[in-house]
Amino acid sequence: MTYHNLLFVLAAVFAVWAVMAKKLLTSAIMLASLSAAVSLIFFDFGAPWAGVFELSVCAGLITVLFIGAVSLIRAEEEKHPENRTRFYALPLAVAIFAIAAWFYLPAFFDELATGRQMAAGGGTIGLALWDLRRPDMLGQVLMLAAGVFVIKSVFPRRTENK
Amino acid sequence: MSTFAMEWYLIAIIIFTGFYCMLASRSIVRQLIGLEIVSKAAMLSVISAGALTDNLVYAQALIITMIVIEVVVVAAGLALLVKNFRLHGSADIWKLDSLKG
Amino acid sequence: MDKGLLAYLLIPLLSAVIIPFAAKNRPKLADILANVTLLAGLANLAWLALRPSIIRGEFADIPGDGLSLLLVAAIYLVAFCVTFFSAWFLDEHLPNRQAYYSLILVSVAAMCGVVTTTDFFTLYVFIEVLAVTSFALITTDESSGGIEGALKYFFLTFPASALIIVGIAVMMMSLGGLSFESLRIFMAADAPAGTVTFAAALMMLGFLIKAGVAPFHAWTPDAYQGAYAPVSAYLAGIVTKISGVYAIIKLATLLRFFDGRAQAVSEMVMFLGMFSIALGALAALKQTNFKRMLAFSSISQVGYIVLAAGLGTPLAIMGAVFHLLNHATFKTVLFLNSASVEKSAGTTDMDKLGGLEHSMPWTSWTSIVALLSTAGVPPLSGFWSKLLIILALWESGLKTYAVLALLFSIVTLAYFMMMQKKVFFGKKTAAAESSPEVSAPLLAPVVLMSALIVALGLLFPYFYTYVKMVAERIIL
């Protein structure tokens, strides 16, 4: 219980840190830590499949992509640093939001929870994907095809220009 | 207060952080980071709702699809960023103001 | 998912995958493959819906809810016009030619997925696919305007996805499932609807942002203006309508707005619809760029659809569906004409254009047909859809909205007349002197669409039967 809430708090801390970090590289690493915290939460909920995917894809692949892009533009970013006051104000803003929300949101969410409808549960993840969410699989195929064509279109192979 | 309300309260804080980042920053990379934070929080809300209603298998099926979407979206965003950097030599979103009216 | 219409999704996908391999050394083959795929789909659709026996039977044999089929037809029609136009418009040495056609076909597949799905999460998945393909399409010509439009589209529409996902989570919690059917059953029952209404409001907000309704319209003019010329016709004509507006109409029918179960959401949607009609029309009056003016006009026309969807009575839903279809026809004509003007005169700045009616008579006349239809002048098709919407508003006792909708329809006519005067009438300017009419293949899609506008207006009784069938099936 405490461990569970602690993981959520940890995720929030990593999120704030990712926004506040001065170097983009630190931001990217904190984002990976956020992903790792989220995947620990998934494991804690008893959702190992989601946890594994989150850990390998979001904490792994996306971080690699981010770090690649960041290292490409880092020099330029550091030449023109942003105004940092707005980022230093973030902990304050989060604190104000957290205190203000404390009076309203938990009560509201408790009310939301009363409207719940229990499901049968059970089954395996493979069956759920295949039986209940088959159109989504088609969507995934389409998404991956779209991803390939996007990269092909944004970075075309130029033969005649060189 | 139930666990569920506590979880969603913290999720709300994470979403707030992400949106704050998107509003405050001028850098495209930081905007993408804000977007990532928001979408992580959205995933947490799905799994939390699934746990509350004993529907975890279904929620996991949704999350796996969401992760695939997220990868492609982030890849597309970074591709746009790199291309913009090659064309303009900057990653500052407010420098994009050639279209006005 | 509607199994009968699955082929309309799978065949473009297959074709999109084949194109890069088949057209590796013969770039023209990409054009041919894309056009043939879409034309075959159109022919198949015409056979399905326009056989004399079907028309005589008042379209009772149409599979599914009828709305999917109608929208699939609109998607194929606009996509076909755009690819046909592109085949002659594209630069010979464009390095990403194959990827361009593949992306268009993938986005056609995604749109067919959006209109045939019966589940909220699947709807979201396909909308994301559609959004991802749109960014790449906007940047096709590698201009700085294109990349700017794409980035703004990216960062202003993706936060909406988070809202939709949280809405989906709440809905999953309170319905136990995510299919449209479970929501329909829930709303028809007498249970307290508070939680579900909250979920629906979050999703509705997300879709309103994706549709570019004011005050969330910041990305729309930039994306349309910066986009590669034929792509802006594709985006304005169909992509943003399917990715946002269709979902709004679908949610509106599922939430049973007309019997007041979700009154607050309904009122919010109607107010935003009216607001974007007003804001789009007033902003369009001030524009000096042809494409940007069309973009603001598009915001205003989307407002009419959203207003009608928010009202949610059967008559209003009929008007919304019909206006969605009309919007696809007239906006495609106007944006493709702006692409022709850009190709011929080299600019879309209205201060530099003028007197194009002598050198480009076809472009000029098709624009007049399209703009009269947009403004709702009888007997063109736009008149009927606006009539339905205003009648529905009047019938429900919302007389203020009805009068305002009518007034802004006149403003629409005013800014379009101004546009026509500046671009096509008046004295020839330097830019117009050296701008010949574009070639016949570039005019063919525009003329086809204009003919369709006139035909839909004149054959309205037949069409009314179809739309009535649709409204009955999706509301009851």
pLDDT tens-digit map of A126-151: 787 787 788 888 999 999 999 999 98
Q: Are residues A140 and A82 in the same domain?
A: no
Which pLDDT score, from 0 to 100, does residue A121 have?
67
Q: Are residues A61 and A8 in the same domain?
A: yes
Which pLDDT score, from 0 to 100, does residue A161 have?
44
Tally of domains within chain B? 1
**Is residue B60, in this structure, part of any structural domain at all?**
yes
Listed by start position, the domains of chain C span 3-475
Domain holding B57: CATH number? 1.10.287.3510
B32 → chain C, closest CA residue: C155
The helix (H) or strand (E) run that includes residue C73 is: helix C67-89
Q: Give the CA distances from residue C213 to residues C75, C245, C275, C299, C306, in Å, rounded to whole numbers and listed in that order.
A: 21, 9, 9, 6, 8
**Is residue A161, in this structure, part of any structural domain at all?**
no
The rounded distance, in Å, linking the Cα atoms of C196 and C202 is 10
Residue B92, strand partner residues: B27
Q: Give the CA distances from residue C295 to residues A20, B8, C325, in Å, rounded to whole numbers and listed in that order.
A: 37, 39, 17
**Is residue A109, in this structure, part of any structural domain at all?**
no
Tally of domains within chain A? 2
pLDDT band at A51 (very low <50, low <70, confident <90, very high): very high
Q: Are residues A73 and A144 in the same domain?
A: no
Chain A contacts of C138, Cβ < 8 Å? none
Positive or negative torsion for Cα A111, A112, A117, A118 = negative
Does residue A158 or residue A119 have the better pLDDT?
A: A119
**Is residue B100, in this structure, part of any structural domain at all?**
no
Q: Are residues A85 and A150 in the same domain?
A: no
Q: Are residues A22 and A72 in the same domain?
A: yes
A153 CB within 8 Å of a chain C CB: yes
B36 CB within 8 Å of a chain A CB: yes
Q: With a CB-CB cutoff of 8 Å, which residues 199-238 of chain C face chain B?
A: 221-222, 225-226
Assembly ipTM: 0.92
**Is residue B97, in this structure, part of any structural domain at all?**
no
Does residue C182 or residue B95 have the better pLDDT?
A: C182
**Is residue A148, in this structure, part of any structural domain at all?**
yes
**Is residue A107, in this structure, part of any structural domain at all?**
no
Q: Which residues contact C165 (CB under 8 A, 6 or more apart)?
A: B39, B42, B43, B45, B46, B66, C124
**Is residue A32, in this structure, part of any structural domain at all?**
yes
**Is residue A63, in this structure, part of any structural domain at all?**
yes
Q: Can you give the residue range of the structural domain that contains A137?
A: 123-156
Nearest-Cα distance to chain B for C55, in Å, is 41
> Cβ separation of A69 and B29 shorter than 8 Å?
yes
pTM metric for this prediction: 0.93
**Is residue B99, in this structure, part of any structural domain at all?**
no
Positive or negative torsion for Cα C31, B77, C298, C350 = negative
pLDDT tens-digit map of C425-458: 877 777 667 777 778 888 899 999 999 999 988 8
Chosen domain end from A75, A93, A111 = A93
Q: For residue B76, give the nearest of C132, C159, C169 by CB distance.
A: C132
Q: Give the CA distances from residue A45 to residues A38, A116, A131, B42, C168, in Å, rounded to whole numbers and listed in that order.
A: 11, 18, 23, 16, 19
Which pLDDT score, from 0 to 100, does residue C192 have?
74
Which pLDDT score, from 0 to 100, does residue B101 have?
44
